[in-house]
A and B are shown apart, each in its own frame.
Chain A
Amino acid sequence: ETGVTQSPTHLIKTRGQQVTLRCSSQSGHNTVSWYQQALGQGPQFIFQYYREEENGRGNFPPRFSGLQFPNYSSELNVNALELDDSALYLCASTQGARETQYFGPGTRLLVL
């Protein structure tokens, strides 16, 4: 139990739709990162937010966007969904740059 929660646990969307995934960080953590994990692969870094500002981004197109709120909860938004967006989406929170990242259980997204 890491104290990081994600919702929903599962989601089915159709191609072209938009989706919002949510993450509640562990108490006191001001940094959150999002990852995409396709089936049978390692997680890929999408972006990181620190104190409500984007603080680093992986190789993902702009249709992947995020928000971090004053209470440090976070959202991942994906527009114009594509079939290849089907994956497990993980968020991880941390208190600072050198601290341990705590991962949530993930949201499994299926795009039809």
Chain B
Amino acid sequence: AQSVTQPDIHITVSEGASLELRCNYSYGATPYLFWYVQSPGQGLQLLLKYFSGDTLVQGIKGFEAEFKRSQSSFNLRKPSVHWSDAAEYFCAVAINYGQNFVFGPGTRLSVLP
């Protein structure tokens, strides 16, 4: 069965510092990969997605993610964090887009001024 792990439950960084959120998945083939962000009381917003091709994916709000097949990872990065980035971040995978969509448990990001 597919599974997604996000090893860090909670991360705290200072504003302006760099950020990396980890995501590992377990699946025989390369699934579709996604990162979503959820602010308190809000729905989920797609940051970026990977289907195939270039393993470095650019997203919105200055985020990027790198797919590493050998490590079954899809880590999210941002070079300089802003206070408004404080939120919950979810990694997700899907065998076929839209079907059997599996989310990780999430990583809560706090940003210090």
Please, how many residues of chain B have a CB less than 8 angstroms from a CB on the other chain?
A: 23
The A/B interface has a contact count, at CB < 8 Å, of 61
Shortest Cβ distance from B41 into A: residue: A105
Contacts of A55 in B (CB 8 A): 98-99
Ordered by A's residue number, 12 sampled pairs between the chains whose C-beta atoms are within 8 Å are A2-B43, A35-B101, A43-B90, A48-B98, A55-B99, A58-B100, A90-B44, A92-B43, A98-B51, A101-B98, A103-B44, A104-B43
Given contacts A40-B105, A97-B96, A103-B44, 20 further A-B contacts (CB under 8 A): A2-B45, A31-B98, A35-B103, A40-B106, A41-B106, A42-B4, A42-B92, A42-B104, A43-B44, A43-B90, A45-B102, A45-B103, A48-B99, A90-B43, A92-B44, A98-B97, A100-B49, A102-B46, A103-B45, A105-B43
Residues of B within 8 A of A (CB): 4, 36, 41-46, 49, 51, 90, 92, 96-106
